[in-house]
Structure 1
Amino acid sequence: MDARTPNKSPLYRTPAFPVLLLQLITTLVVAITLWFFRGWIAGYSGLLGGLVAFLPNSYFAFRVYRYSGARSARAIVGELYSGEAGKLILTAVLFIAVWLGVKPLEVAAVFIGYLVVLAVGASALLIVKSFPKH
């Protein structure tokens, strides 16, 4: 008998959802702001930088919240490690894809988008704590 219990809750019911939602909104706000003040190349560069942070975080959240319950503790720990490894690999692949596949590109805008969205993720405990419960 498998001790892992699949989580029946959809991703939007997990504690990661408010953080991911705020990261997605932040990605769009950064892209629009850069587009408005620096032009369309900066805008889509910032959008790509934000997505390089957002997509791996979404992958990590999906992996970590796949299981629930005390009987799934071992599976959850395993998902933490594999999810983090996958997140790092996905981040590297996305950065390489952006650098090699997108021309013209404003490098500073890519890093601005990436770092701002990453800062939202670093504030996750504050975000989850202040998000209203359903």
Structure 2
Amino acid sequence: MIQENMKASAGARKATQRILVVQLVVTSLAVLIAAFLGGSEKAVSAGVGGGIGIVVTVYFALQVFSVRPGRTAAKMAQALYIGEAVKLVLTVLLFAVALVLFDLEFLPLILTYAATLAAYWLALL
């Protein structure tokens, strides 16, 4: 049973790495496209949007993987629920801070964030 849990954990970690790589690639492409089409201000905005998506993914992964293999299903579910709740709050806070502190273009910011969310789900396929 422990060996099965270890294999499942390794598979989940590999999927998480794949998600992060895809999010980084999507963000990088969005920054390049924004720079080409709109200049540095739009490129920075796209980078911040993608960065928010990546940061919350990293947080969620760290929260979920804080539960050691072999723990009860209730502990794993608790980590997932807490991770999702904090991820949502963290996302809102990061957007608020980004929009208040920096002069960002909203469209590249939100589109790149949305692209990282789409990449999250596509990388799971």
Q: Tell me whether the two structures share a fold, i.e. TM-score over 0.5.
A: yes
How far apart, CA to CA, are the structure 2 residues paired with 1:16 and 1:47? 20
Q: Name the structure 1 match of 2:18.
A: 18
Q: Which residue of 1 aligns with 2:62?
A: 62
Query: Is the 8 Å Cα contact of residues 48 and 98 (structure 2) preserved in structure 1?
Result: yes
Runs of 4+ in 1 over 6 A off after TM superposition: none
- In structure 1, the partner of 2:113 is 114
Q: Deviations over 1:73-122 (max 9, x none)?
A: 2221110000001100110000001110102x211111111111111012
Q: Structure 1-normalised TM-score?
A: 0.78
Percent identity between matched residues is 31
**CA–CA separation in structure 1 for the residues paired with 2:70 and 2:21:** 27
Give 5+ residue unaligned stretches, structure 2. Answer: 1-5
Measured on the aligned residues, the alpha-carbon RMSD in Å equals 2.0
What TM-score do the two structures reach when normalised by structure 2?
Answer: 0.83
Larger helix share, 1 or 2: 2
**Aligned residues between the structures:** 117
Deviation larger for 63-72 or 88-97: 63-72
1:33-72 alignment, distance < 5 Å: 33-72=33-72
In 1, the alpha carbon distance for the partners of 2:93 and 2:13 equals 29
